[in-house]
Structure 1
């Protein structure tokens, strides 16, 4: 019953994320969100200071492709060697590899240029949705899902969610602060990754349910 509930929740979250992303896509396509983006950028960049810039550059580096690859490799080894995950590794790899593919596909479809207001670092490519935001959401989201059941205490799980949420939020905010993404790029990236992550978990849990039923029917024969 618990597995059925998880499957239902994953399905609902994937649909809600898809609707959220679709809404953001409609807004940016109709240029109806420019004022919102400009206002948020002004507020975030209004806190500019040398120390904060260094901090934001650090979080942007953590969300870069190289850093995500290293973090993912270390997480893969930890899940395999320490926690003895096996089938879960397929889910992990699918989420991690599928995210940048989805991101590039969406960027090529929407062709949104990056903001050119006050850039603190250089960046190339299209803007929507943010690759950093998508990578962060996928990596820390799937790690939270896989590590959750191995943490016995409530406070340990709260800490896991807090750290994951903080990393996702800070990596996304760093892209706005550094002037290389609109806020809606970040929000759209979260929704896109949320949809992919939830769908992947739904698919995996469905597979687990069918496998459990198969084993159960085999044992009763």
Structure 2
């Protein structure tokens, strides 16, 4: 019964994330979030200072590229050699790879140009949804999910969730601060990645339940 409730919770979350993304995408498509986006950008960029810019560049750096690859490889080695949960690697790789592919498809579908208010760094490509936000949500989200049961203490689990959430939020805010994404890009990225992560966990747990029954 408990296992079934967990399966249902993951499926429900995936539906809610999908509905949320659909709503944001619809509002973006009809230009209903322009005032919201520009207001938030002006507010966040109002904090601009050289030290804070360095901090934001650091957070945006750990949201993609070589740092993410290094973190992902480290988690793979931890799961494979230390925790001996090699089957969980399938979920880890599936979530990360699928999230990247989904982001490419969505960006090509929406063709949204990046903000032109004030860019602190220059990047190419389309804007919606944010690839950094999707990548961060997927990486740190699935990592927290896989590491959760290996942390027995309640305070340890609380630290894990808080640290993961803080990293995901900081990476998203850094993209707004640096002027390369609208807030709705970041929110859309979180929702799209949340859908993919929850759906992947639902499929994984369903397969795991079937495997336990057959063993």
- The TM-score, its normalising length taken from structure 2, stands at 0.99
1:54-69 paired onto structure 2 within 5 Å: 54-69=54-69
Matches within 5 A, 1:1-221: 1-215=1-215
Aligned counterparts of 1:67 and 1:4: Cα–Cα separation in 2: 37
The SS at the match of 1:150 is coil
Deviations 1:104-126 (A, max 9, x none): 00000000000011000011000
Taking the aligned partners of 1:148 and 1:124, their CA distance within structure 2 comes to: 36
Superposed CA deviations along residues 76-102 of structure 1, whole A, max 9, x for unmatched, are 011111111121110001001111111
Distance 1:182 1:64 in 2: 18
Instruction: Quote the Cα distance in structure 2 between the aligned partners of 1:65 and 1:107.
Output: 18
Distance apart, 1:2 and its partner CA = 2.4
- Deviation string 1:23-79 (CA, Å, 9 cap, x unpaired) is 000000000110000000011000001110000000000002222111111110111
What do residues 119-163 of structure 1 show as CA deviations (whole Å, max 9, x unaligned)? 000110000000000000000000010000000100000000000
For the residues of structure 2 that align with 1:102 and 1:65, how far apart are their CA atoms?
17
Normalising by structure 1, what TM-score?
A: 0.96
Unaligned runs of 5+ in 2: none
Secondary structure in 2 matching 1:202: helix
Question: What secondary structure, in the 3-state scheme, does the structure 1 residue paired with 2:149 have?
Answer: helix
Q: How many residues align?
A: 215
SS at match of 1:60: helix
Which whole-Å CA distance do the structure 2 matches of 1:117 and 1:107 have between them? 20
Task: Name the SS for the 1:176 alignment partner.
Answer: helix
RMSD: 0.6
Give unpaired runs (5+ residues) of structure 1.
Answer: 216-221
Q: Where do 4+ consecutive residues of structure 1 move more than 3 Å?
A: none
